[in-house]
Structure 1
Amino acid sequence: MAIRWSWASPRLALVPAVSVTLVAFFGAILWTIWVSFTRSRRFPEYAIDFEDLTRQYDRLFGDNAWATSLENVVILALGSGLAIVFGFILAAMIEREKRGEGFFRTLFLYPLAVSFIVTGLVWRWLFNPDLGIENFLHQLGWESADFNWLGDRRTAMYGVILASIWHGLGFYMALMLAGLKSINTEIWSAARLDGVSFWRLYAEIIIPMLKFTFLTCAILLSLGVVKTYDIVLAMTGGGPGTSTWTPAYFVVNSFQSRGNIGFASAAAVMMLVMTLVIFLPLVLITAWQARRREARVQ
């Protein structure tokens, strides 16, 4: 009996957590998918209109604001990807120069202690032409300086990207630094003895050995980009116009401003599809590479 109880007790302890996950996570997903096929507006309706089943999705893909949000999420993904590149460069510099490693690691990790809302407000102030960088440059005598990126539809999204890079740079640097420290020191020593150049060492040896770290960073970045909302809200409020809307901002706006929960649910379902399209291939690639590495070791 004692053996049976020792087998069952941990599984019983997991029942509440599993139940909450099934109801709150998978239940919410199924509810959202169901509502997206109804005519729900301010309040949910559960009668599916089979004669016009894709009504909400047809409206969604005909909405210019949704098209803008999809373009912006691609731009944001490409721009925010620079955080991984710069994070690797910083990690490589810190790894090579041991002095002050703790100080620089703390300095670059500091933005993680700040929420996206606070980050957005700070960068909104920096882009303010009357108070921020532009005003500072004018005081230095550079009267032609124009740094009001958030006031221009063509540059507002780049301002959001710059703030996102600043916020996530330290996180990706820490991941890359951990990956660099996991590399056997004998590899570095052998490369120096063989006279391998600095650029060739990183391009042909170090970076290929960090492919799992890069994949992990790509997965985390893709998940963060798809759900980007709070930093856009704090910096631009989606403006000018709809120039900085993202899918997450579109979903919230569709419910709060338009009062259409069915339309917002359809957009949320498409966000889930985008996440799966981006996330699953990266996870499968990572698992495949892990199996290959295990096979080589055996």
Structure 2
Amino acid sequence: MTFRWSRWSPQLALVPAGLVTLVAFIGAILWTVYLSLTRSRRLPEYEIDWSEWGRQYERLFKDSAWQISLQNLIVLGLGSALAIVFGFILAAMIDREKRGESIFRTVFLYPLAISLIVTGAAWRWMFNPELGVEHFIHSIGLTWVNASWLARPETAMYGVILASVWQSAGFYMALMLAGLKSINSEIWSAARLDGVGLFRLYTEIIIPMMKFTFVTCAILLSLGVIKAYDVIVAMTNGGPGQSTYVPAYFTIQALSAKGNLGFASAAAVVMLLITAVIFLPLVLLTAWQQRRSGART
């Protein structure tokens, strides 16, 4: 039997990618799970005390900073969802106004070209009471305005959300604009002929037709929120106190500041579980909707 290179070459080309996935992704996950069951400190220990295998997880959920991190994760997720809302509104406005479309797309997409570190540093300066927006407002006589959100624990997280929405709204606008462009123009014409109002057109026709786009945006948003770290470091460094701790920041702090590898691994495993709980239902929902729409056609 002759060896057919054309048949085996695609499989051979996938071997390096498969090895990288197996070692760097699956292997790293299994190694992290294993370390979370040990008493590892600065250096890994590979002996598991099965009588106390959940010790790190018990410590984790009793830690007040971790509880704050989980609460902030919910707040950040709900607040960051505004980026999808604003992205859709901007996309709808640009799609209706054809003139200057390329200019507006460039302007709104520009924040995406800036790293989260730079974004966080810029917004930290804007919230600085001595140099930023508050200083300018006070200089024109509006001394009652308080815009130093990052200095107060009860408002610091809202400042982080504002910076995150500003940075990512343009990205979701681009996705929404692509979804709007894919809608058949005859649907718009038929709606205008039937006298359908603008609000009903979007809420009853356009948005349901873009459900796959919204699910995709939700998946990307959830992944970004769970791994949020750069903007926290740049804007607040977790402060004031621990008021802006999120799981990713907590995990890095447990590893670098506390030097507790086992504790940080437990936090990382819980982050992975949170990602799976949020991510997998969205993926399954998308696959189910695609299969349902395919069966109809």
Give the TM interval when normalised to the shorter protein.
Answer: over 0.9
Match of 2:208 in 1: 208
Residue identity matched to 1:137:
I
Structure 1: unaligned runs, 5 residues or longer: none
CA gap of 1:59–1:11, structure 2 versus 1, over 3 A, is: same
The answer to whether residue 194 in structure 2 is matched with residue 194 in structure 1 is yes
The Cα offsets for residues 177-204 of structure 1, whole Å up to 9 and x where unpaired, read as 0000000000000000010111111111
Superposed, 1:103-252 pairs within 5 Å as 103-252=103-252
Note the alpha carbon deviations across 1:37-57, whole angstroms, 9 max, x for none: 000001100001101010000
Q: 1:42 maps to what in 2?
A: 42
Q: 1:294, CA displacement in angstroms?
A: 0.3
Alignment length, in residue pairs?
297
What residue is the counterpart of 1:257 in the other structure?
A: 257
Distance apart, 1:3 and its partner CA? 6.7
Give the alignment's Cα RMSD to 1 decimal.
0.9
Q: Which amino acid aligns with 1:234?
A: A
Alpha-carbon distance between aligned partners in 2 of 1:50 and 1:161, rounded to the nearest angstrom: 42
* 1:92 and 2:92 are equivalent in the alignment: yes
Q: Distance in 2 between matches of 1:119 and 1:219?
A: 22
Choose 268-277 or 5-14, whichever is displaced more. 5-14
Equivalent position of 1:281 in the other structure = 281
Partner Cα separation in structure 1 for residue 109 and residue 2 of structure 2: 48
Cα deviation digits, residues 254-286 of structure 1 (max 9, x gap): 011111000000000000000000000000000
Q: Secondary structure at the match of 1:215?
A: helix
* Letter paired with 1:27: G
Structure 1 distance, partners of 2:137, 2:193, is: 49
Match of 2:31 in 1: 31
Matches within 5 A, 1:71-82: 71-82=71-82
Identity of aligned residues (%): 68
Moved over 6 A (4+): none
Structure 2, unaligned runs of 5 or more: none
Aligned partner of residue 43 in structure 2, secondary structure: coil
Q: TM-score, normalised by structure 2?
A: 0.99
Shift of 1:2: 6.9
* CA offsets 1:189-228 (integer angstroms, 9 cap, x no match): 0000010111111111001001000000000000000000
- Aligned-partner residue type, residue 255 of structure 1: L
CA distance in 1, matches of 2:267, 2:101: 44
